[in-house]
């Protein structure tokens, strides 16, 4: 009897860990919903990988389902509002990925400002020897940075950038205890104040388009936007327009709408660093995320308290 389904496309670390567990694996929810009724009836928990929408209708295909254990802290793909009235618990994998996601935010900022990729190409092509020094780039340390969403990951990013001697500003729904960082109740005021704006909000309908055209315009032609949250949090059409028109200085983006088939306009930009939604993608962190996901499932099957419940 199949008690646990793994749905989605686990990465290498989880594939190796899942191999010995005897769980049934389905690449998509549609594939899972097409399993024979007898199999679906026995499913108590789903280990969910990826960002495809998981709504109430799909939940109803598994009448004994009691847990959706998400691989990732961001569970915006799962309709928690549909899960709760069905007595389905949802878990995620917070904290274990904070360091990696914060590291990538800083890496994109450094990469954009110092153009390490272009400078490396200058060395490899032999241009350094033939044409001389690479053009001057932009200083990172000591700038003014704004964090939009001072949650777990936002805080890790802020701590790192404070160590770069930056003046720290932030916007959250309420003021937090900080070592003297400046709070802005209004995201537009935050963007107007800073050189770099880093988005670390949750995704989902409540934060959709939170970074409006007005926020981006306030950031201005020298301002740089870094987004490691979700593509939904930014008005992407406005971002593309303003990047193309050089009305904002640049962007470092790990997340997009319609991943992985992102808007092709991004690919032609010379003022953006683009990453394939890989902020947590180290062997160490993916191992820890998978372990936490499996620990939640094990606790659920034993009737014990969940480690990281969402609802």
Which positions touch ligand NAP (CB under 6 A)? 73-74, 94, 97, 101, 149-154, 172-174, 200-203, 206-207, 228-230, 254-255, 277, 279-280
Q: Which residue is nearest to ligand NAP (CB)?
A: 151
Catalytic residue among 3, 167, 214, 259: 259
Does residue 173 carry a catalytic annotation? no
Catalytic residue among 230, 236, 286, 294: 230
Does residue 304 carry a catalytic annotation? no
Query: What does the block give as tokens for 249?
Result: 């200085």
Asked if 154 and 170 count as a contact pair (C-beta separation under 8 A), the reply is yes
| 201 or 272: CB nearest ligand NAP | 201
**Per residue in 108-147, is it b (16+ CB within 10 Å) or e — as a string?**
bbbbbbebeeeeeebeeeeeeeeeeebeeeeebeebebbb
Q: How far is the CB of 277 from ligand NAP (least distance, A)?
A: 5
Q: How far is the CB of 279 from ligand NAP (least distance, A)?
A: 3
Q: Considering just the CA atoms, what is the radius of gyration of the chain in Å?
A: 21
Q: How far is the CB of 230 from ligand NAP (least distance, A)?
A: 5
Q: How far is the CB of 179 from ligand NAP (least distance, A)?
A: 16
Query: What does the block give as tokens for 203?
Result: 């995704």
| 72 or 250: CB nearest ligand NAP | 72
**What's the rounded Cα separation, in Å, for the pair 203 and 280?**
16
Does residue 277 carry a catalytic annotation? yes
**What's the rounded Cα separation, in Å, for the pair 185 and 180?**
15
**What's the rounded Cα separation, in Å, for the pair 5 and 277?**
24
| 93 or 219: CB nearest ligand NAP | 93
Residues recognised as catalytic: 230, 259, 277
């Amino acid at each position: 009897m199949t008690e646990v389904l793994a749905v989605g496309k686990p990465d290498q670390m989880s594939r190796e860990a899942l191999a010995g567990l005897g769980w049934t694996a389905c690449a998509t929810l549609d594939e899972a919903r097409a399993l024979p009724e007898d199999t679906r009836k026995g499913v108590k928990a789903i280990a969910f990988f990826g960002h495809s929408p998981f709504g109430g209708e799909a939940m109803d295909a598994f009448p004994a389902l009691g847990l959706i254990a998400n691989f990732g802290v961001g569970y915006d793909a799962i309709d928690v509002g549909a899960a709760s009235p069905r007595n389905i618990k949802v878990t995620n994998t917070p904290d274990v990925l904070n360091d990696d996601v914060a590291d990538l935010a800083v890496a994109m900022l450094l990469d954009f400002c110092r153009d390490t990729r272009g400078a490396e190409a200058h060395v490899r092509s032999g241009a350094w020897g033939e044409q001389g020094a690479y053009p001057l780039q932009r200083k990172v340390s000591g700038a003014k940075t704004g964090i939009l969403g001072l949650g777990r990951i936002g805080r890790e990013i802020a701590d790192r950038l404070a160590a770069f001697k930056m003046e720290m500003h932030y916007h959250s729904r309420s003021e937090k205890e900080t070592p003297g960082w400046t709070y802005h109740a209004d995201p537009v005021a935050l963007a107007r104040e800073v050189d770099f704006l880093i988005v670390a909000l949750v995704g989902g309908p409540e934060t959709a388009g939170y970074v409006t055209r007005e926020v981006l315009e306030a950031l201005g032609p020298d301002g740089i936007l870094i987004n490691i949250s979700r593509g939904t949090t930014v008005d992407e059409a406005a971002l593309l327009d303003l990047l193309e028109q050089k009305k904002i200085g640049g962007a470092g983006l790990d997340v997009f709408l319609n991943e992985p088939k992102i808007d092709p306009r991004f690919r032609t930009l010379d003022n953006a660093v683009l990453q394939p939604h890989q902020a947590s993608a180290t062997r160490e962190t993916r191992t820890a995320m998978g372990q936490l996901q499996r620990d939640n499932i094990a606790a659920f099957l034993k009737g014990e308290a969940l480690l990281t419940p969402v609802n």
